[in-house]
Amino acid sequence: MMPWIKLSKGENDHFRVFCFPYSGATAQVFRPLTQLLPEGVSVYSYELPGRGRRFNEEIPGTLAEIIEEAFLSINRIIDRPYIFWGHSLGGIIGYEMARHIRTNNHPLPKHLFVTGIRAPQVPKREKDVYDLPRDEFIEKIKEMGGTPEEIFNHEEMLDIMIPILKKDFKIYEMYRFTPDMPMPFPITAIGGLDDKFVSKEDLEQWSVHTSSLFDMHMLAGDHFFIFDNMNNIAQSIARAIFRMNQK
C-alpha cells in the first residue's frame, strides 16, 4: 500500500506539504490542515506501518527503515515544489528524510517545519521509556498528554496501542545524530509554551541546521499544542509558500 496518503481533494495543485506524524499517530492527524491552506496546495501525510491503513504491516524497528521506505515512495510525488512538516518524532523523520533526499540528489524541500521536537544534536535528558514495564509506560504516556483518557480505560485499545508506541519510542530513543552540512532551505521550529519535554532552547538549536533563514516561535499549549494551534501553523506554512512564490 502507498505509504503516502493524499489528504487533500482535487488534482490541481502547484505546491505540496508532506507531513510526518508523531509517535503512535496515524496519517489522519494532519487532516485539519487541508481546510486551512490556500487553494492549489495539497497535503500528503506519511502512514507508518503498523497503524491506520497499514495496521496489518510490521512496525519498523529503526529510523533507517522508515527513511528508506518513505524515500522510495516519495520520489515519484516530489515533481513540484514542496515543504516538510513533522511533529515530535515526525520532526526527526522529516529532517533525516531531507538529508537522504540530498544524498540521493533529488529535489529538496523548499522549507522544513519542525514542531515539538528538540534539535537532533541536543542530548536527551529523560531516561529511555520504551522498555519500561507496562504500568510505568502507561503512566509516562499519560504524563505526555495527547492520548484520549478513554483509551486508558479500554484494555483492548491499550493492547493495540502500547506495542506501537513502544516501537516508536525506541526508534527515537535509539536515534543518534551524525553531523552534516547545514541545509540550504529555511527551517521553522515551533514549540509549546507548556511543553515539559522540549524547551525554547532546544528549539533554538535547530538554527545550526540551515544556511538559509531560521525562525522560531512558541505557541500556547503542551507537547501536543498543534491541535489547538493548527490554524497558526497553517498560516506559517502559507506565508512560507507566499514568500517562495514572490521569488
Give catalytic residue positions: 88
Residue whose C-alpha is closest to residue 188's, from 123, 233, 134, 132:
233
- For the four alpha carbons of 110, 220, 36 and 93, in that order, the dihedral sign comes to positive
Q: Dig out the grid coordinates for 138 from the structure.
A: 502507561
Determine contact, residues 51/26, Cβ cutoff 8 Å: yes
Cβ proximity of 89 and 23 under 8 Å: yes
Grid cell in block for residue 35: 481546510
For residue 119, the SS3 value is coil
Residue 59 CB contacts under 8 Å (≥ 6 apart), including other chains: 48, 49, 50, 51, 163, 164, 167, 168
216: three-class secondary structure by DSSP: strand
Q: How far is CA 79 from CA 15, 22, 42, 75, 117, in A?
A: 10, 26, 13, 8, 28
Residues 189 and 175: their CA atoms lie apart, in Å, by 20
CA pair distance 79, 16, nearest whole angstrom: 9
